[in-house]
Amino acid sequence: MIRRSSLVVVSLGLVATLVGTAAAEHRRPEDPCACSAAKPGFFRRAKLTGDWGEHRDHFEEDGVLVQATYSLEAFAANGVPRPVTVGGLFVASVDLDLSELVSSALGVVHASGLAIHGNGLTAELNDVYGVSGNTAPQDVRLFEAWYEHTLANATVRAGLLSADQEFVLAGHATALLNATFGIISQVSYNVLGPVYPVAAPGASARLESDLLTARAAIYDGDQHNVHGVPTTRPHTFLAIGELELWKSLKLGYWHHSVTASDGYYAILDRQVAYRVGAFARVGYSPDQAISQYIDCGIRIGPGPLRPKDFVGVGVAFARTDRGPDQPSGAESVFEATYQAQFGWLTIQPDVQLLLQRDRTTAIGAVRATVVL
């Protein structure tokens, strides 16, 4: 009798463990350090509005994931007419897993929208990087809207896409506030997108194996839109291809038909020690406004000071030729940031040093991000 009771207890425990594991696997993994909801994969499980009496978790298990985030930031710099700027970004998104909601043969639908307000320092500094990755013209707009389908090791995505959500990325750079530590400014400045806050009609594909991941995409090359909604049919294109080896080395190429320009890049991004990751990226785009680009940096965390905090340090260099009416030559930026997480609230002080041919500017900033 004792043996049968023990067997029942063990069996029930095993079933509970398997059910719990399956539920945990279905839940979206938390992104530990991305500094903005505009960055790919941003997700925090702690939220100001809670779990809605466990309804939010049930929705996620049923295939419905709703997110809303607001970030408020202030930047200050010396030697510019408007030394202090304040801006904010509200991001809302919904993901529908049709394999749970409709049929196991279907994929995922995603849509996101932005509300942007305030100003940034880049308009004052006229730099090529973008002091803040959140700064953009004031608008309420649609961002991405796509359908993604996975079959075995192949994934296809089509709809309104932004290239900075999939390409030319280094995961260990995501804690840094400067826009160039997302997709490199050599792409965003030379071809203008589609990158945040603009998405364009396009399609991307990804083929994955343990050794190699291949990515390719084609987008509308002009990106004409009103509040994020395309207003013309695509007749030009931006094409990007990327190979990733050993989940740490990426080699890529892009071609923009509007400017008849090409670009080549390489990325090394990996964990180098316990709590320490490093990245380095180089780019070459002949006869373009930014012809040469290099950046590198490290990310420390989570911890060791607080269990969920991160430290990020990065430096970027670009060689520019922006024409006779624009400052050209070498341009560099150094950044150090600390990301302090308090559940649904993240406070991030940040310092940057911008070196341009005609001046050097010290920049201080703080960003507060609330996950709603």
Residues contacting 71, CB < 8 A, separation 6+: 36, 37, 88, 89, 90, 134, 367, 368, 369, 370
Q: How far apart are CA 208 and CA 174, in angstroms?
A: 22
Q: Is the pTM of this model over 0.75?
A: yes
The pLDDT of residue 27 is 61
Look at residue 228 and give its three-state secondary structure.
coil
pLDDT tens-digit series, residues 181-216 = 999 999 999 988 799 999 999 999 999 999 999 999
Q: Do residues 112 and 41 touch, judged by C-beta distance below 8 A?
A: no
pLDDT tens-digit series, residues 303-334 = 888 988 999 999 999 998 876 666 678 999 99
Q: How far apart are CA 300 and CA 234, in angstroms?
A: 43
Decide the pairing of beta strands 329-342 and 237-245.
unpaired
Query: Quick one: how far is CA 127 from the chain centroid?
Result: 21
The letter for the amino acid at 303 is G
Q: Do residues 200 and 219 touch, judged by C-beta distance below 8 A?
A: yes
Phi-psi region of 171 (alpha: psi -120 to 50; beta: other; left: phi over 0): alpha
Query: Quick one: how far is CA 177 from the chain centroid?
Result: 11
The letter for the amino acid at 48 is L
Q: Which domains does the chain have, with CATH numbers?
A: 29-371 (2.40.160.180)
The pLDDT of residue 23 is 41
The pLDDT of residue 116 is 97
Look at residue 308 and give its three-state secondary structure.
coil
- Give me the residues of the chain with pLDDT under 70, please: 1-27, 32, 323-327
The pLDDT of residue 6 is 42
Q: How far apart are CA 185 and CA 209, in angstroms?
A: 29
Q: Do residues 206 and 344 touch, judged by C-beta distance below 8 A?
A: no
The letter for the amino acid at 246 is W
Token pair recorded at residue 26: 């279905």
